[in-house]
Amino acid sequence: KNILSYGHKREQVYISKIIIMLVVTFILTFLLLFGTVIVAFITGAIKKISYGEILEAINFILLICIVFTAIASIYTFLCTLIKSKSLIVAIGIIYINVSYIFIGRIPYQKYTPTFMLMDIGVVPPSIQNIQHIIMTCIILIIVTSLLGISVFKKQDIK
């Protein structure tokens, strides 16, 4: 039951889904940020860029990729748990719209990747905030991956 039709273990299939989402997220984030810089160089909006700014951009990309990986891990877990893609999209839309009503009122928001992205985008994060984001995202990735693997192992493949 734990081996798929081609002989792959279910754990490997689930983890490969998360890895693929991580790679695609990294590529898209990299292209978005550095593509913007390249276009700005071509159009003349930016004349020069320092080595420190390049390092800051790379660190920013890595931090964003960790947050996006946590989001992808949560999404993969929800897709495994709930088979209806429409229901998952509806839950996501409702969550995003309802969560804005409770900004600052409920303390759990500093643990959600969506609000971490907003914090990163609004104010440059401090070292303490970066550590909080990294630790929270790693915990979310591990927990949702383990839960997703256990759910995926128990499901029937159609």
Cα 25 from Cα 17, distance rounded (Å) = 12
Q: For residue range 52-77, list pLDDT tens digits in order.
A: 888 888 888 888 889 988 988 988 89
Cα 34 from Cα 107, distance rounded (Å) = 34
Cα 116 from Cα 65, distance rounded (Å) = 12
- Quote the pLDDT of residue 91: 84
Degrees, nearest 5: CA angle 12-13-17: 115
What are the structure tokens assigned to 136, written together?
């929270």
Q: For residue range 97-132, list pLDDT tens digits in order.
A: 877 776 667 676 677 887 788 878 788 888 898 999
Per-residue DSSP letter, 2 = -
The pTM of the whole model exceeds 0.85: no
Query: Residue 157 pLDDT > 80, yes or no?
Result: no
